[in-house]
Chain A
Amino acid sequence: MQAQLRDPKTIMKLSRLGSFHQSKLSFLRSFLKEFKDWKYNNDLFDLDENGYGRAVYSFSKENKTYSLICFANKINPNERSDRVIATKWDAAFVLHDGVPSKKDIERLEQNVPKQEVGRLSYKELTLSRANKSVRVFDHVVESLSNGNQPDKEFLSKIGYLYRTTAVYGSGKFGLADRFRIKNREEICGPFRLEMMLVYLVRQFTFDQVNHIAKHKNSKKFVPLDKEISRNLGIGNSTGLGMAPFIVNHPTLLNNWILARENALKKVREIKNIKKEDFETFINCLKKSIKNITSWNTESEFQKKKIKQLMIDLNKLLVFIEDFNFQSDYGFNKLYLWVEENLDLECSEYVVSMMFEPYDSIIDPLIKKMSSEEEKFFNIPGERTVQDLRNILEEKYSGILKLDFEKKENNENFWFISKNKEEPRLANRYNEKGSELEQPLAIARDIKRLYERISNQKNSLNIGKFLIENNDLRHVVRRAFIIEKFPYSEIQDNIIGSNLIPIDMLRLKLSFFGAIKFDPRSDKWLRICMFQGAPLPNELKNFNDYWVYN
């Protein structure tokens, strides 16, 4: 039996993409697998009794080393802000390519704590900063310094000691451009160095909290229990800055989604499911419910989604009690039932779970999740208007039905904020600046393009068509990209009044491997990364199902 890849027009709707969950394809999981054989070391730990100072952590193998350099600073409580406009943080971090010299560390100490207004060099790979969750951090210090372990229940509600507010890479603020490092085998997956930074930051937070507690009361002090440490991750506050990324990198988006779709297709095509494989699936599914019941959010929107997810998972658990996985194409039958009977949130949850038993399917796909985007940048000027029309009608049929004369379909515009050079969304009719709109209104501009070619000769070359139509050049380019990359385009209108921007964030964060999405509005959310992950000195023999422990 050959399963079909799912239709991009269905999968690329934001309601579906905003229901994606972490999976074996997620970048933080593939990062851990890639680096499990690397030597981990804490090369420097020079903090004062209050936990301020410098530390260096590294992964090395053969002649390669990646070093995280941490700078922990004192800030006043009123200076602590998770917003991107903040200028001070509890700690700042940079991932350095190689072993940093004393001179490097001194240079970085002058720049890394300043973040966006500092300057890095091609020897640095990723940059970040983080703030303490003060109530958790203080509670842990207090407990350990009094010889007690912290309250697990309290910790599980938050899930981390620190949360990052941005992680930068690829040429930002002087960091190495991707072309300098893209051929390194160990970082072939997307965002691998960003994942390394966050993972090592997590270890720093444990070492720092232990260090402070020990200095507070060395006689009574007990170190943070390893099991408790494992169940702490790193938080992250994520806003709209991340949303345009998936529009601005169409071939990369395609490769992420295509990997997921290919994985599902291959799992559905398995005729005889081995007993141990469906047991792995069921175990992961059952264990994962703990992640849902400990998923805390104040967001009514997310609470509803979680509630529906739990209802659906219970339905699924009842269904699989009598389900015969050993009938032919068991996962295909299960998938068809899920699509028919459960909501999107649960449907995509189960899809992620189906990947769990199958390293042999997933591992080769992970290697295909990067993209050489510039290879597909040129517009094929020799193609014809007929070709373009065919692409638009085939690939954007839902978009072409939208009426942009209606106010609600044209309500918002994306712009770059002057204050912080970050993407933002505003109401076109209430706010100034729509004339400086970013080229992200893809649905509207595709519709305009379709209308524009309606009175053009089919035989006209695109090169000649563009002479008078360069205002739509950005979407002509995209049309020829989607022809080759069917999952490259969101099949929704991202300037409409019904847009829920956090759907765009969730899509990206699910590929990162984030869990416990906690929307704080429709425009930003908090997440947790690496919660449950092995500690760096446990990587050699870790259980890949740690997400569900």
Chain B
Amino acid sequence: MKTLSEIDTTSKRATKAVGFSWGIAEEVGKNMKLLELFGLSGIKNLNKYLQDYKKKQFEKITLINEINESKKNPFCPIILGTNFIDQVNLMDKKKNIKIHNLAFPVLFLPFVSRASEVIGKRIFLKLDDKEFLFNLNQSIYSNYLKNEILENSRSISIDFIENTNSFSEAEWNEIYKLSEDTFVEESDSLKMGAAGAGLTDND
């Protein structure tokens, strides 16, 4: 089995070798580690993409808008991903972002996972019929487990999820009430000796 360190180093060098800058290659190295650690097929997709890179044309997106569409060539997932993580603080006010025609979308996913950590919000991403929930770069929850090469996605939809509770206030109150059963009632004499007791706060 290849180690994550080998995956990082080799992916970085291979990405540089096809013409990306060292700085971007470093991002890809870290991303491949992340994908393989989370059980997604990073190396398989990266290898195919880098093999195709010189033969095919890919669109390089710069500023990411609410709707991003490339009619001719598919978007490059690495340039899109790099810009996504660089600009995510500017775009998380937008509720939803759409990307049409993206090459090798699996390579875009780790950028989104890391972006979720950067902004401190969960991100929900729908890639055609595949769903991914990115949890602050701690885990990726998905209905997609296939170990395959995905060469293209027609449509990607990204939602930034506000930090809200997944439970109702009533449910919280119920569980809080249960937790109170671990507390001990303090006697009056103990209350008298607690911090601040016996003083006037205007002294």
The chain A residues found within 8 Å of chain B, CB to CB, are 121-122, 170-172, 174-179, 374, 377-379, 381-382, 416, 438-439, 461-464, 466-467, 470-477
Contact = CB atoms under 8 A, between A and B. Distances in A.
B3 A175 contact: yes
Interface in B90-123: 90, 114, 117-118
A172 B117 CA distance: 29
Nearest to B2: A174
B63 A473 contact: no
Given A464-B87, A470-B82, A177 B23 contact: no
B23 A463 contact: no
B35 to A, nearest CB: 14
B1 A476 contact: no
Contacts of B135: none
A397 to B, nearest CB: 23
B6 interface: yes
Nearest to A462: B86
Given A377-B30, A381-B87, A382-B89, A473 B24 contact: yes
A95 to B, nearest CB: 16
A179 B26 CA distance: 19
A177 B4 contact: yes
A174 B63 contact: no
B118 A378 contact: yes
B21 A177 contact: no
B83 A171 contact: no
Nearest to A467: B62
Nearest to B62: A467
A165 B199 CA distance: 70
B87 A470 contact: no
Interface string B1-45: 111111000000100000001111011001000000000000000
B23 A472 contact: yes
A431 B1 CA distance: 37
Nearest to A465: B86
B85 interface: yes
Contact of B1 (A122, A170, A381, A477): A122
A175 B117 CA distance: 29
A522 B111 CA distance: 42
B5 A463 contact: no
Interface in B69-89: 82-83, 85-89
B22 A467 contact: no
Contact of B3 (A177, A379, A467, A476): A177
Nearest to B61: A467
B86 A170 contact: no
A346 B5 CA distance: 39
